[in-house]
Chain A
Amino acid sequence: MKELRDKRVIRGLLSEIEKRTRELPSSPRIMEVCGTHTMTVHRYGLKNMLEKVGVEMVSGPGCPVCITPNEIHEAAIELVTENENFILTTFGDMTRVPTRKSSLQKAVPAAGSMVKIVYSPRESLEIAGSNPEKQVVFFGVGFETTIPAIALTLREAFEKNLANFSILSALWIIPPPLRAIVEAKEIALDGFLYPGHVSAIIGEKPYQFIAKEYGIPGAITGFEPSDILLGIFSILNQIKDGNATVSNEYSRVVRASGNPKALAVMEEMLETKDSYWRGLGLIPQSGLKIKKEYSAYDAEIRFNLRIKGGSGDLPGCRCGEVLQGLISPPQCPLFVKKCNPDSPYGPCMVSFEGACFVYYKYNPTIKNEL
């Protein structure tokens, strides 16, 4: 596996990439859709190396913590602050997102209530089992990578007939916002790096429309530096040949048709719905909700939450534009000065794969310049 981070391999790939970009009239602009890719691109300095060989990288909407609108975060905060004997479980990043109603980390829970960070959704079932006198709500956020784990947890709760467990879901599917970004025509893109682990679940087919309907090349890629460069090289070859496709450069992990068992459990427990994404607004069929048969486990229904659309961004926060690739984090006036990892103002600075956090962490010069 050493090839994946080998300097010589990286130099070799960069020089092949440069050969391709020299033949193009202008620098191609490629969106890395996934926040974990954004991390690799910055952590290993690929962003600057690629700029030198004529490729512009922009970050996309692939951070589930970031794209979840404040209204859902606020509903979670209300659950633990307004109800006694509630345990809200969630992934760590979710607790730090600032909203108009504080954050899960800072808000003061009602008597007997608390927020508990979990690594796996299944831990919530154990917590529910050992706290029968309390309501346990798993605030489940994620893309297709995480959704099967949440769907399996839901199924297990249903099978065990757990009476004190439910899920507040913020589940997002990746292809619809890509269509929204292309359709909006606010940013011209020459290629997409598709998220490797989302693709491990959904396979290649759900991205085909990007190539077929819009003629934009794309590559499914892994998370090591060489993976990213291989994906970009593939996109440049597609541009050169005038043949946009979905190439799979992460075939050691991604099968063409994805993971059938994961897709089956998603289909069994969940159904699509129109969802609000931070920045992108309402996108048809871009989210998943718990099916009616299992609505006893849907916290939104069980506790009559009535979560509204996505207009609850904090004033001045430009995370929504960052998520669409319209601005890069340093272009936000709050960046570093008023919004940094110690005191984040927007979710893109909270999540360890939010673009603002990644820019802050891996580009020390940006901090000094400001």
Chain B
Amino acid sequence: MCLGIPAKVVQIDKSNLGKVDYLGTRVKTNFELLDNLKVGDWVIVHAGFAISKLNEEEARETFSLLREMAEKEALANKNMEKEEAKE
């Protein structure tokens, strides 16, 4: 029920109605709940309504944190292999 789909705004009119592109499909969407949206913005769509605009800067920060986690793990594995090789 609380499934929200990230989709790109492809059309928006003055009455805040328009369409998003979701995996190549254009879906009728109501943008009434958000301000200052423009074509090209990414939003979360739920039950035909856009409920939140994606913040790209925050997204980048999260993704870089996640990459760090992966790198840390890779490094730890490498060190372990070295230790094992020494033994």
Contact = CB atoms under 8 A, between A and B. Distances in A.
A63, A145, A230: residue with the most chain B Cβ atoms closer than 10 Å: A145
B47 A351 contact: no
Interface stretch (A98-106, A146-154, A292-300): A146-154
B66 A145 contact: no
A261 B1 contact: no
Interface string A1-18: 101101011011101100
B49 A36 contact: no
Given A8-B74, A36-B3, A122 B66 contact: no
A160 interface: no
A253 B54 contact: yes
A121 B47 contact: yes
Given A148-B49, A148-B51, A143 B74 contact: no
Contacts of A9: 66-67, 69-70
A357 B51 CA distance: 27
A225 to B, nearest CB: 11
A9 B70 CA distance: 4
Interface string B37-52: 0000000101111011
Interface in B42-87: 44, 46-49, 51-52, 54-56, 58-59, 61-63, 65-67, 69-74, 76
A197 B2 contact: yes
Contacts of A16: 69, 72
A201 B76 CA distance: 40
B2 A143 contact: yes
A261 B54 contact: no
Interface string B17-40: 000000000000010111100000
A204 interface: no
Contacts of A64: 1
A122 B30 contact: yes
B52 to A, nearest CB: 4
A64 B1 CA distance: 7
Given A15-B76, A152-B30, A252-B54, A119 B47 contact: yes
Given A35-B2, A146-B1, A148-B33, A119 B66 contact: no
Given A3-B67, A15-B73, A152 B49 contact: yes
B76 A145 contact: no
A60 interface: no
A142 B4 CA distance: 13
Given A148-B51, A200-B44, A252-B59, A12 B2 contact: no
Contacts of B34: 259, 261
B1 to A, nearest CB: 5
Q: How large is the interface on B (under 10, 10 to 19, 20 to 34, 35 or more residues)?
A: 20 to 34
Given A122-B48, A351-B1, A261 B32 contact: yes
Given A120-B49, A143-B2, A148-B49, A265 B54 contact: no
A65 B1 contact: yes
A243 interface: no
Contact of B2 (A93, A119, A146, A259): A146
A251 B69 contact: no
A122 B47 CA distance: 9
Interface of A: 1, 3-4, 6, 8-9, 11-13, 15-16, 34-36, 62-65, 91, 93, 119-123, 141-143, 145-146, 148-149, 152, 195-198, 200-201, 223, 226, 230, 249, 251-255, 259, 261-262, 265, 351, 353
29 contacts: A3-B62, A8-B70, A13-B66, A15-B73, A16-B69, A34-B2, A91-B1, A91-B47, A119-B48, A145-B51, A146-B46, A148-B33, A149-B33, A149-B49, A197-B46, A198-B2, A200-B44, A223-B3, A230-B66, A251-B61, A252-B54, A252-B59, A253-B4, A253-B44, A259-B33, A259-B51, A261-B33, A262-B51, A351-B1
Q: Kindly list the 10 A-B residue pairs having the minimum CB-CB distance in the complex, ordered from nearest.
A: A120-B48, A12-B73, A12-B69, A252-B59, A8-B70, A3-B66, A251-B58, A200-B52, A149-B49, A145-B2
